[in-house]
Structure 1
Amino acid sequence: MQETETRASSAGVAEEVRGEGRPGRELPRHWPLLLLGAAVLPGVLLVLVGRSLDEPAGQAWRTVCLAVIVQALPFLLLGTALSGAINAFVPASVFQRLLPKRPALAVPVAGLAGVVLPGCECASVPVANSLIGRGVAPAAAFAFLLSAPAINPIVLTATAVAFPGSPEMVLARLAASLVTAAAMGWLWLWLGRSEWLRPAVRHTGHQAGHSRWTEFRQGFQHDFLHAGGFLVVGAMAAATFNVAMPRSVLDTFSGSPWLSVLFLAALAIVLAVCSEADAFVAASLSGFSPTARLAFMVVGPMVDLKLIALQAGTFGRAFAWRFSAATTVVAVVCSVIVGGVLL
């Protein structure tokens, strides 16, 4: 199995990576205005729309939407800043030196690395791709891909703020996410095939001719604008869900332990809320059980529509669909088990 893992880590990636860095066009000169607009404009629009809605339902929608955005925005800013700093200043080779040589042991170590090395979902895919290209076992890289956006300090702190007085929710999220990441790494060791991976040009690390501060600025700007848009969409969807969903339909799902878990897991995949903000969306879904909301927070950072697209573009569709489907099942099962014990 170790020989298979070695072939998976080296097949098709023998080409030397040249000109690493975050791909894309140069930043426009007015990028600070874009950042300011991304941070301020949604709130202004919501206030203006809210004023035109005098009905109680409209006021409730505005309150929920603004509350989610205002609470989550500081954590989103901090998380994207730290992610950009890691991408610009921490060489990917550091991970290879720190991980055990045996893939079976490297998987849990890589999963635990997500606790101390924050990163958003969008950044975790190219980082994992780069790790594989530099000789890290794919199983370990995938464990890090799943754990980094799910259990880093920013996400856990945001969860504690979103669920005040409920430290068991923070512990449950940490445990369920870590177990899911490790289980998926070991599952890849057992069933993964190298032909499912499509080698791609790696674009993580320092790019020749660019200062690290320029790379940090580009990474922060890219991640914040990208994740901020999903935050606003997620907040609006959560508010609409809370206000517009008929009580009879809500009772159908929330009244059933299994249906509520499956429903919020599917909702997490569709909404694609950034992991730094999804705890606030989950907290707003007060009609559902704690275990169902835990499933929302465990599944979301690991499987959503944007991540499936990123994985398909990086590793290939054969990998993305298999890996995403398996991760969803494992994450739901782990959430139910951990939620049943801790919540």
Structure 2
Amino acid sequence: MRDGPTARVADHDEALPPPGWGRSGSTATPGARALWIFAAIAMLLVVGRLWVAPAIAAESLDAWATIFVAICVQALPFLVFGVTLSAAITAFVPPSFFNRVLPRRPAAAVPAAAVAGAVLPGCECASVPVAGGLMARGVAPAAALTFLLAAPAINPVVLVATAVAFPRDPEMVLGRFLASIVVAVLAGWLWLRFGKGEWLRIPRPATDGIGRWERFRQAMRHDIMHAGGFLVVGGLAAATINVIVPANWVSGVAGIPWLSVLTLAVLAVLMSICSEADAFVAASLTQFSPTAKLAFLVVGPMVDLKLIALQAGIFGPRFAVRFVPLTFVLAVAVSALVGWMLW
């Protein structure tokens, strides 16, 4: 129970309107804003159903809906499982674990970090802050960056999802593993050789004092909402490409080997799909060659729009403008080489 002048002031303050009361744009609560957004989306859907849908052939609309639902339904279990494991590693694996398992020599720590990324699942959204935490605790930056690239690309969840998405093409799983781990190791070694300390902003160790279960809950909530949203966007884009883009244009691009590889590599950057779900989107792009699809699967978990933003925010823009082009060029080149060897 509160008493005294301080309590009376606090009670009086609680009775006052909010500071922004009566100002333009501040009267709506978050719940009211969400209601207005939902109403606007519903109105757009109604307008689209009444005016846009009749102008689209029924066969095309059915095909679009079938592709979109199939991609989301197939990918969702792997997405949830991968996000759960990623959140568990973030919350329950102590940072000292990586210092114990990685060699002290940076050149040897780079491939060891790639192997650790293959064993420990994690989505690309979580790999950037995890790599920052490793650097803050003394892990060599080259090794931490190798883990950043390898963990979301070749962990067991991603490889199993790739096998399910390509049941008749087991070479895709092998190609994804080989190309991704080679890119991660090469990027780490190149940064170790040519990278400069002033290009990289190493984060400070976190001291938030949050409990493990609360950290797990927050990581799970953030990753499932973030990755789930990108899965929906990726499914929409893939379905639209398959239905709306003219077949002769797609065939023309897909028929030129180097252009098809570069097209799907750029598409992976723009679509920014979670690595646990990108294989199902790649499998739906039936017009393109296996090598082009491999480039899509290798580039996506290592270079996309959300990763560029995360890397620039955590490690600084001077790092991002150097590391992102390096990773993209390595991913495209190694994917083309591995694809040439397998198909």
TM-score range, shorter chain: 0.7 to 0.9
Which of the numbers 88, 94, 98 marks the counterpart of 2:97?
94
Match of 1:198 in 2: 201
Match of 1:267 in 2: 267
Question: Which amino acid is 1:235 matched to?
Answer: G
* 1:165 Cα offset (Å): 2.4
- Paired residues in the alignment total 297
SS of residue in 1 equivalent to 2:303: coil
* Distance change (3 Å), C-alpha of 1:51 and 1:88: farther
The runs of 4+ residues in structure 1 deviating greater than 4 Å are: 48-54
* 1:218 Cα offset (Å): 1.1
Q: Take 1:54 and 1:261, find their aligned partners in 2: how far apart are those partners?
A: 31
* 1:54 Cα offset (Å): 5.8
The answer on 1:330 being equivalent to 2:313 is no
Which structure has the greater CA radius of gyration?
Answer: 2
Normalization by structure 2: what TM-score? Answer: 0.83
Q: Take 2:228 and 2:100, find their aligned partners in 1: how far apart are those partners?
A: 34
Question: Which amino acid is 1:171 matched to?
Answer: L
Identity %: 60
Match of 1:109 in 2: 112
Match of 1:250 in 2: 250
* 1:75 Cα offset (Å): 0.4
Question: Which amino acid is 1:278 matched to?
Answer: D
Q: Is the 8 A contact 1:126 1:202 kept in 2?
A: no
Structure 1 stretch displaced more, 136-145 or 242-251 = 242-251
Kindly provide the CA deviation profile for residues 21-41 of structure 1, in whole angstroms up to 9, marking residues without a partner as x.
xxxxxxxxx9xxx9xxxxxx9
The answer on 1:60 being equivalent to 2:63 is yes
Match of 2:38 in 1: none
Question: Which amino acid is 1:162 matched to?
Answer: A
The answer on 1:119 being equivalent to 2:122 is yes
* 1:105 Cα offset (Å): 0.5
* 1:92 Cα offset (Å): 1.4
The answer on 1:171 being equivalent to 2:174 is yes
Kindly provide the CA deviation profile for residues 4-27 of structure 1, in whole angstroms up to 9, marking residues without a partner as x.
xxxxxxxxxxxxxxxxxxxxxxxx
Q: Take 1:57 and 1:114, find their aligned partners in 2: how far apart are those partners?
A: 41
Question: Which amino acid is 1:133 matched to?
Answer: A
Structural mapping, 1:204-283, within 5 Å: 207-208=208-209, 210-283=210-283
Q: Which runs of 5+ in 1 are unaligned?
A: 1-29, 35-40
Q: Take 1:212 and 1:186, find their aligned partners in 2: how far apart are those partners?
A: 34
Kindly provide the CA deviation profile for residues 26-72 of structure 1, in whole angstroms up to 9, marking residues without a partner as x.
xxxx9xxx9xxxxxx9xxx8xx9799766111111111111110000
Kindly provide the CA deviation profile for residues 106-163 of structure 1, in whole angstroms up to 9, marking residues without a partner as x.
0001001111100000100001001111111100000000000000000000000000
Question: Which amino acid is 2:323 matched to?
Answer: F
Q: Which runs of 5+ in 2 are unaligned?
A: 1-30, 35-40
